[in-house]
Amino acid sequence: MTEISIKNLCKEYNDAPVLRNVNMEISGEEFCVIVGASGCGKSTFLRILLGEIQPSSGEIRIDGRPLPPEPGPERGVVYQRYSVFPHMSVLENVMLGPGFAASPLLGRLSGKRRRAAADEAMHYLREVGLDHACSLYPASLSGGMQQRLALAQALIMKPQILLLDEPFGALDPGTRKDMQDLILRLWRENRMVVFMVTHDLEEGFMLGTRVVVFDKIPSLKDGNENSGATITYDIPLNGRRKPCD
Protein backbone atom coordinates (compact mmCIF):
# COMPACT_ATOMS: atom_id res chain seq x y z
CA MET A 1 0.00 0.00 0.00
CA THR A 2 1.40 3.40 -1.00
CA GLU A 3 1.32 6.30 1.46
CA ILE A 4 1.89 9.79 0.12
CA SER A 5 2.09 12.80 2.39
CA ILE A 6 2.20 16.31 0.94
CA LYS A 7 2.72 19.10 3.45
CA ASN A 8 2.58 22.86 2.88
CA LEU A 9 3.81 22.55 -0.69
CA CYS A 10 4.53 25.91 -2.33
CA LYS A 11 5.91 26.76 -5.74
CA GLU A 12 6.90 30.08 -7.20
CA TYR A 13 8.22 30.82 -10.67
CA ASN A 14 10.44 33.93 -10.65
CA ASP A 15 8.80 35.14 -7.41
CA ALA A 16 5.29 34.68 -8.82
CA PRO A 17 3.40 32.24 -6.57
CA VAL A 18 1.70 29.35 -8.37
CA LEU A 19 0.99 26.85 -5.59
CA ARG A 20 0.43 27.83 -1.98
CA ASN A 21 0.23 25.48 1.00
CA VAL A 22 -0.99 22.39 -0.80
CA ASN A 23 -1.67 19.58 1.68
CA MET A 24 -2.78 16.07 0.81
CA GLU A 25 -2.58 12.62 2.39
CA ILE A 26 -2.99 9.51 0.27
CA SER A 27 -3.26 6.07 1.75
CA GLY A 28 -3.68 3.12 -0.58
CA GLU A 29 -4.22 2.83 -4.30
CA GLU A 30 -6.32 5.93 -4.87
CA PHE A 31 -7.37 7.32 -8.24
CA CYS A 32 -6.98 10.99 -7.51
CA VAL A 33 -8.49 13.33 -10.09
CA ILE A 34 -7.29 16.95 -10.19
CA VAL A 35 -9.45 19.68 -11.67
CA GLY A 36 -9.10 23.45 -11.76
CA ALA A 37 -9.01 26.50 -14.01
CA SER A 38 -6.39 26.79 -16.69
CA GLY A 39 -3.12 28.17 -15.31
CA CYS A 40 -3.85 27.35 -11.65
CA GLY A 41 -0.86 25.02 -11.32
CA LYS A 42 -2.15 21.47 -11.98
CA SER A 43 0.69 20.55 -14.36
CA THR A 44 3.16 22.23 -12.03
CA PHE A 45 1.89 20.00 -9.21
CA LEU A 46 2.34 16.85 -11.36
CA ARG A 47 5.83 17.94 -12.47
CA ILE A 48 6.81 18.36 -8.81
CA LEU A 49 5.50 14.87 -8.03
CA LEU A 50 7.44 13.52 -11.00
CA GLY A 51 10.65 15.19 -9.75
CA GLU A 52 11.01 17.23 -12.94
CA ILE A 53 10.93 20.48 -10.95
CA GLN A 54 11.49 21.21 -7.28
CA PRO A 55 9.00 22.88 -4.92
CA SER A 56 9.98 26.24 -3.44
CA SER A 57 9.07 24.92 0.01
CA GLY A 58 7.12 22.16 1.71
CA GLU A 59 7.68 18.44 1.59
CA ILE A 60 6.47 15.30 -0.11
CA ARG A 61 7.02 11.86 1.40
CA ILE A 62 6.31 8.52 -0.19
CA ASP A 63 6.06 5.66 2.28
CA GLY A 64 7.77 7.88 4.84
CA ARG A 65 10.78 8.73 2.63
CA PRO A 66 11.38 12.11 0.99
CA LEU A 67 10.38 12.21 -2.67
CA PRO A 68 13.50 11.53 -4.79
CA PRO A 69 14.56 14.85 -6.39
CA GLU A 70 14.66 13.39 -9.91
CA PRO A 71 12.24 11.32 -12.00
CA GLY A 72 12.56 7.59 -11.35
CA PRO A 73 10.98 4.32 -12.49
CA GLU A 74 8.56 4.32 -9.54
CA ARG A 75 6.78 7.35 -11.08
CA GLY A 76 5.38 7.09 -14.61
CA VAL A 77 3.84 9.87 -16.65
CA VAL A 78 1.57 10.29 -19.66
CA TYR A 79 0.95 13.73 -21.17
CA GLN A 80 -1.87 15.04 -23.35
CA ARG A 81 0.31 15.01 -26.45
CA TYR A 82 2.42 12.21 -27.56
CA SER A 83 5.54 11.56 -25.63
CA VAL A 84 6.69 8.58 -27.70
CA PHE A 85 9.80 8.44 -29.90
CA PRO A 86 8.90 8.81 -33.59
CA HIS A 87 12.00 7.05 -34.95
CA MET A 88 11.36 3.85 -32.98
CA SER A 89 8.80 1.13 -33.58
CA VAL A 90 5.98 0.57 -31.10
CA LEU A 91 7.83 -2.40 -29.58
CA GLU A 92 11.14 -0.51 -29.35
CA ASN A 93 9.37 2.40 -27.66
CA VAL A 94 8.11 0.11 -24.90
CA MET A 95 11.47 -1.69 -24.55
CA LEU A 96 13.35 1.57 -24.12
CA GLY A 97 12.60 2.04 -20.38
CA PRO A 98 13.84 -1.41 -19.32
CA GLY A 99 16.81 -0.92 -21.68
CA PHE A 100 17.87 2.30 -19.97
CA ALA A 101 17.27 0.77 -16.53
CA ALA A 102 19.69 -2.06 -17.38
CA SER A 103 22.16 -0.06 -19.45
CA PRO A 104 21.88 3.66 -18.61
CA LEU A 105 24.40 4.82 -21.21
CA LEU A 106 23.24 2.96 -24.30
CA GLY A 107 19.67 2.02 -23.48
CA ARG A 108 20.17 -1.17 -25.48
CA LEU A 109 20.02 -4.77 -24.44
CA SER A 110 21.35 -7.79 -26.22
CA GLY A 111 20.86 -11.56 -26.31
CA LYS A 112 18.69 -13.17 -23.66
CA ARG A 113 18.00 -9.91 -21.84
CA ARG A 114 16.74 -8.30 -25.05
CA ARG A 115 14.41 -11.24 -25.71
CA ALA A 116 13.09 -11.09 -22.13
CA ALA A 117 12.49 -7.34 -22.46
CA ALA A 118 10.71 -7.88 -25.80
CA ASP A 119 8.44 -10.54 -24.21
CA GLU A 120 7.61 -8.19 -21.37
CA ALA A 121 6.98 -5.30 -23.75
CA MET A 122 4.60 -7.51 -25.76
CA HIS A 123 2.76 -8.33 -22.53
CA TYR A 124 2.12 -4.61 -21.87
CA LEU A 125 1.23 -4.01 -25.52
CA ARG A 126 -1.40 -6.75 -25.20
CA GLU A 127 -2.62 -5.08 -22.00
CA VAL A 128 -3.30 -1.85 -23.88
CA GLY A 129 -4.53 -3.62 -27.04
CA LEU A 130 -1.60 -2.67 -29.27
CA ASP A 131 0.20 -5.99 -29.75
CA HIS A 132 -1.00 -6.18 -33.37
CA ALA A 133 0.78 -2.86 -34.06
CA CYS A 134 4.13 -3.75 -32.47
CA SER A 135 6.20 -3.23 -35.62
CA LEU A 136 4.54 0.03 -36.72
CA TYR A 137 6.02 3.49 -36.19
CA PRO A 138 4.18 6.15 -34.13
CA ALA A 139 3.41 8.29 -37.21
CA SER A 140 1.04 5.59 -38.48
CA LEU A 141 -0.88 5.33 -35.18
CA SER A 142 -4.09 7.22 -34.33
CA GLY A 143 -4.12 9.60 -31.35
CA GLY A 144 -5.78 6.97 -29.14
CA MET A 145 -3.21 4.36 -30.18
CA GLN A 146 -0.35 6.74 -29.37
CA GLN A 147 -1.80 7.31 -25.90
CA ARG A 148 -2.10 3.52 -25.44
CA LEU A 149 1.56 3.27 -26.40
CA ALA A 150 2.49 5.98 -23.90
CA LEU A 151 0.58 4.02 -21.22
CA ALA A 152 2.42 0.79 -22.07
CA GLN A 153 5.71 2.70 -21.94
CA ALA A 154 4.88 3.94 -18.44
CA LEU A 155 3.44 0.64 -17.15
CA ILE A 156 6.39 -1.56 -18.13
CA MET A 157 8.42 0.24 -15.46
CA LYS A 158 5.81 -0.93 -12.89
CA PRO A 159 5.30 2.52 -11.39
CA GLN A 160 3.96 2.91 -7.88
CA ILE A 161 2.57 6.28 -8.94
CA LEU A 162 1.16 7.11 -12.38
CA LEU A 163 0.81 10.77 -13.35
CA LEU A 164 -1.61 11.57 -16.16
CA ASP A 165 -1.80 15.16 -17.44
CA GLU A 166 -5.00 15.49 -19.49
CA PRO A 167 -4.16 12.17 -21.15
CA PHE A 168 -7.40 11.99 -23.14
CA GLY A 169 -7.80 15.71 -23.82
CA ALA A 170 -6.95 15.43 -27.52
CA LEU A 171 -9.12 12.37 -28.26
CA ASP A 172 -12.57 12.13 -29.85
CA PRO A 173 -15.45 11.15 -27.50
CA GLY A 174 -15.65 7.48 -28.60
CA THR A 175 -11.90 6.89 -28.24
CA ARG A 176 -11.96 8.78 -24.97
CA LYS A 177 -14.61 6.44 -23.53
CA ASP A 178 -12.52 3.39 -24.53
CA MET A 179 -9.44 4.94 -22.91
CA GLN A 180 -11.38 5.67 -19.70
CA ASP A 181 -12.39 2.00 -19.46
CA LEU A 182 -8.79 1.00 -20.18
CA ILE A 183 -7.25 3.26 -17.55
CA LEU A 184 -9.66 1.99 -14.88
CA ARG A 185 -8.76 -1.61 -15.71
CA LEU A 186 -5.01 -0.85 -15.72
CA TRP A 187 -5.29 1.00 -12.40
CA ARG A 188 -7.09 -1.94 -10.79
CA GLU A 189 -4.70 -4.55 -12.19
CA ASN A 190 -1.46 -2.69 -11.53
CA ARG A 191 -2.29 -1.38 -8.05
CA MET A 192 -0.93 2.14 -8.45
CA VAL A 193 -1.77 5.55 -7.12
CA VAL A 194 -3.04 7.55 -10.09
CA PHE A 195 -3.03 11.36 -10.23
CA MET A 196 -4.98 12.46 -13.26
CA VAL A 197 -5.56 16.04 -14.40
CA THR A 198 -8.69 16.62 -16.45
CA HIS A 199 -10.85 19.55 -17.50
CA ASP A 200 -13.86 17.21 -17.75
CA LEU A 201 -15.67 17.09 -14.40
CA GLU A 202 -17.93 14.26 -15.51
CA GLU A 203 -14.87 12.20 -16.43
CA GLY A 204 -13.31 13.08 -13.07
CA PHE A 205 -16.30 11.90 -11.04
CA MET A 206 -16.64 8.79 -13.19
CA LEU A 207 -13.01 7.69 -12.80
CA GLY A 208 -11.82 9.00 -9.46
CA THR A 209 -11.90 7.65 -5.94
CA ARG A 210 -11.27 11.26 -5.01
CA VAL A 211 -11.69 14.57 -6.83
CA VAL A 212 -9.41 17.42 -5.78
CA VAL A 213 -10.12 20.99 -6.87
CA PHE A 214 -7.28 23.49 -7.23
CA ASP A 215 -8.23 27.15 -7.14
CA LYS A 216 -6.46 30.47 -6.76
CA ILE A 217 -6.78 32.03 -3.33
CA PRO A 218 -7.22 35.80 -3.28
CA SER A 219 -4.46 37.52 -1.34
CA LEU A 220 -5.73 38.47 2.11
CA LYS A 221 -3.83 41.73 2.00
CA ASP A 222 -4.93 43.38 -1.22
CA GLY A 223 -7.43 41.06 -2.79
CA ASN A 224 -5.34 40.48 -5.90
CA GLU A 225 -5.50 37.05 -7.53
CA ASN A 226 -1.79 36.42 -7.70
CA SER A 227 -1.20 34.56 -4.47
CA GLY A 228 -1.11 31.05 -5.86
CA ALA A 229 -3.58 28.18 -5.88
CA THR A 230 -4.35 25.57 -3.30
CA ILE A 231 -6.78 22.68 -2.79
CA THR A 232 -10.17 24.23 -2.14
CA TYR A 233 -12.23 21.04 -2.29
CA ASP A 234 -11.13 17.44 -1.66
CA ILE A 235 -14.07 15.18 -2.39
CA PRO A 236 -13.75 11.51 -1.42
CA LEU A 237 -15.70 9.12 -3.63
CA ASN A 238 -14.18 6.04 -2.00
CA GLY A 239 -17.48 4.52 -1.09
CA ARG A 240 -18.20 3.95 -4.75
CA ARG A 241 -15.23 1.97 -5.91
CA LYS A 242 -11.99 0.47 -4.62
CA PRO A 243 -9.11 -0.95 -6.70
CA CYS A 244 -10.08 -4.49 -5.84
CA ASP A 245 -13.84 -4.13 -6.63
The answer to whether residue 78 forms part of the interface with ligand ATP (CB under 6 A) is no
The answer to whether residue 233 forms part of the interface with ligand ATP (CB under 6 A) is no
Residue 135 partner contact from Mg ion, ligand ATP, none using kind-dependent CB cut-offs of 5 to 8 Å: none
Alpha helices in the chain (DSSP H): 42-50, 90-102, 111-127, 143-155, 173-190, 201-207
The answer to whether residue 43 forms part of the interface with Mg ion (CB under 5 A) is yes
**Residues 37-76 within binding reach of ligand ATP (CB under 6 A):** 38-44
Region at 196 (left for phi over 0; alpha for psi -120 to 50; beta for the rest): beta
Give the phi and the psi of residue 143 in degrees, each rounded to 5. -60, -45
The answer to whether residue 18 forms part of the interface with ligand ATP (CB under 6 A) is yes
When the beta carbons of 185 and 199 are compared against Mg ion, the nearer one is 199
Residue 18 partner contact from Mg ion, ligand ATP, none using kind-dependent CB cut-offs of 5 to 8 Å: ligand ATP
CB of 13 to ligand ATP, least distance (A): 3
CB of 83 to Mg ion, least distance (A): 14
- Count Cβ atoms within 10 A of the Cβ of residue 110 and give its class: 0-12 exposed, 13-18 middle, 19 or more buried: exposed
Residue 13 partner contact from Mg ion, ligand ATP, none using kind-dependent CB cut-offs of 5 to 8 Å: ligand ATP
When the beta carbons of 52 and 120 are compared against ligand ATP, the nearer one is 52
Q: Is the dihedral of CA 224, 23, 185, 155 positive or negative?
A: positive
Taking Cα atoms as reference points, which of 19, 3, 11 lies closest to residue 212?
A: 19
Q: Contact, 109 vs 117, CB < 8 A?
A: yes
When the beta carbons of 17 and 138 are compared against ligand ATP, the nearer one is 17
The answer to whether residue 210 forms part of the interface with ligand ATP (CB under 6 A) is no
Tell me the CA distances in angstroms from 121 to 81, 96, 132, 134, 154, one per residue in order: 22, 9, 13, 9, 11
Q: Contact, 98 vs 156, CB < 8 A?
A: yes
When the beta carbons of 41 and 243 are compared against Mg ion, the nearer one is 41
Residues near ligand ATP, by CB under 6 A: 13, 18, 36, 38-44
Residues that bind Mg ion (CB under 5 A): 43
